[in-house]
Homo-oligomer: A and B are copies of this chain.
């Protein structure tokens, strides 16, 4: 990680949604830390940057994931509780969350942008569609959300004034309440988090956070990110049935080395592509 990147990201909150943020607190290891760990397994010294890139791409392609666990990220994140509940399902991470038992909850709640107040998707049973509610309805809903949030927070303050224990007073606060936490995770598990949370099936609100984290990872581990993008994010897995179809569609095409080359497939990658074709045609 160059000083420039540190300067740009370290300690700087990046806004997410209406009141949230992602802030890079600390990082252990850049791309060379991945290479360094991999070379322990292979028993060889560090080579040129060019070879580093090739090695990192090889590791991602072959899912040799352990060297990516040698890089560790720590973030400070502020997010609505309903997002926190999805996020925490990723168990291979360390978390310290703000506690409503120890401390008074703050008067901060998420309200979606009008154009994110959308109809239920009929295709995607878990998500919203591309279609907005009519703007009047959406505005009404945004306003209702806000009014109830105000009301619930006032009740919360009233309970505290009565000296009700904080752990009880907070039970009617809504899932839209903002919380915050420190979140520490290694790069392999962060890639897995991003794969699921950058996906179009993920809830819009968590995708916003995933986008910002992706931007940070891209800056801090550029070689690992590029390989991850080429082989994982932008890769597609076909099922046996789909491959049977693709096999028949492509069977008359000769995958000549020079053709492969024009697509960036030469050397080991060309050989591996041939192996995939053999698997497809077998």
Q: In the complex, how many angstroms separate the beta carbon of A193 from the nearest chain B beta carbon?
A: 13
Given contacts A249-B253, A273-B242, contact A28 B74 (CB under 8 A): yes
Chain B residues with CB under 8 Å of A69's CB are: 94, 184
Q: Is the contact region of chain A dominated by helix, strand, or loop, or is it mixed?
A: mixed
Verify A118–B265 contact, CB threshold 8 A: no
Contact with B along A221-253 (1 / 0, CB 8 A): 000000001110011111111111110011001
How far, in whole Å, are A229 and B240 apart by their CA atoms in the complex? 8
Give CA–CA (A43, B29) in the complex, Å: 29
Q: Which of A120-157 contact B (CB under 8 A)?
A: 120-121, 123, 125-129, 133, 137, 141, 144-145, 148-149, 151-152, 155
Residues in A86-111 with C-beta less than 8 Å from chain B: 88-89, 91-92, 94-104, 110
Please, which residues of chain B bring their CB within 8 A of the CB of A165? Answer: 118-121, 127-129
A170 at the binding interface (Cβ < 8 Å)? yes
Residues of B within 8 A of A36 (CB): 182
